[in-house]
Amino acid sequence: MEIVKGEFGKVGAKCHLHYLEKGRAYILEDEMLDYEEGKKIQSHISGQGLDIILETIFDSFQDTTQISMNWKGTSKSLLARIILKLMRGKITKQAESELITFKNLVETNGVIFPNKK
């Protein structure tokens, strides 16, 4: 993640999300639209023909937090729209895997992550 405008965690901030998938690099832009600390994050993700609104909701119960992700979006490309529909399950599993990794990092390191060298 590379911050290109504004301050991380603030409404209006823009970041470039750098991905590498199967040897192919690509960049998406993420603009924070709404933020309620500990409750929700809403952002607009675009690039590679995608146009997505992603809302992440945090519901805390005693010592646990449930994280829900809702996204609505489309692609400018008909082929990409078809592929997105066909890959819905895979995308969901990948998001769940990333959330589990995030959960494990937070439970291991708290909110301050060690520097990666």
**φ, ψ dihedrals at 7, nearest 5°:** -115, 135
Tens of pLDDT along 11-55? 999 999 888 777 888 888 999 999 988 889 899 988 887 888 989
Contact indicator for 52, 44 with CB cutoff of 8 Å: yes
Does the global pTM surpass 0.85? no
For residue 100, pLDDT over 60 is answered with yes
Contact indicator for 64, 51 with CB cutoff of 8 Å: no
Q: What is the 3-state secondary structure (H, E, C) of 52-94?
A: EEEEEEEEEECCEEEEEEEEEEEECCHHHHHHHHHCHHHHHHH
Q: Which domains does the chain have, with CATH numbers?
A: 2-109 (3.30.530.20)
Q: How confident is the model at residue 108 (pLDDT cuts 50, 70, 90)?
A: confident
Please state whether beta strands 14-21 and 2-5 pair in parallel, antiparallel, or not at all (unpaired).
antiparallel
